[in-house]
Amino acid sequence: MELKQIASFAVDHTKLVEGMYTSRVDGDVTTYDIRMVKPNCGTYLPYPAIHSFEHLFATYVRSSELSDHVIYVGPMGCRTGFYFLVRDMEPEVAIKLVNDMLAFIVGFEGDVPGATEKECGNFREQDLEGAKAIARKMIPVLENWTPADCAYEK
């Protein structure tokens, strides 16, 4: 079998900065790359914060009025951001949903949803304050983001 270069590896990570990018479009499914730290600069999202952020991100978007359009939310293995897959959702709507989610996380109080032994395979590794810090950092990055900004720099 010949291994092909996947789309996300074709992106020039030396030019990539924080933001929300259209990674790929497959028919009615759009994959967004929500980049939260600049790649390869030595600062990465800490695992416990990523974990809490993921629980809150997924719970928020799957509880929203757009839940039927949400396919997947998940962290990148490189710990620089998240993938967000949606179906039949205009970019303006996806950007607003992500901004609303960030505000939700910053203001969240209480137990992280789905963070019990019964619900999660690694329930002890959570950091709500770390998740809030990630969200606080991203709010000014995405507050005036437009669909035109979603294009990767070439």
pTM: 0.94
Q: What structural domains and CATH numbers belong to the chain? A: 19-140 (3.30.1360.80)
In the predicted model, is pLDDT for residue 34 greater than 70?
yes
In the predicted model, is pLDDT for residue 131 greater than 80?
yes
- Residue of 73, 60, 47 whose CA lies nearest to 130: 47
Position 154 confidence tier, pLDDT thresholds 50, 70, 90: low
In the predicted model, is pLDDT for residue 12 greater than 90?
no
Name the E strands within 41-154: 70-75, 81-87
Report, as an integer, the average pLDDT of 29-55. Answer: 96
Distances from the Cα of 27 to the Cα of 76, 86, 87, angstroms: 23, 11, 9
More confident residue, 9 or 149: 149
Span 91-114, pLDDT tens digits? 999 999 999 999 999 999 999 999
3-state helix, strand, coil in the chain (%, to 5): 40, 20, 45
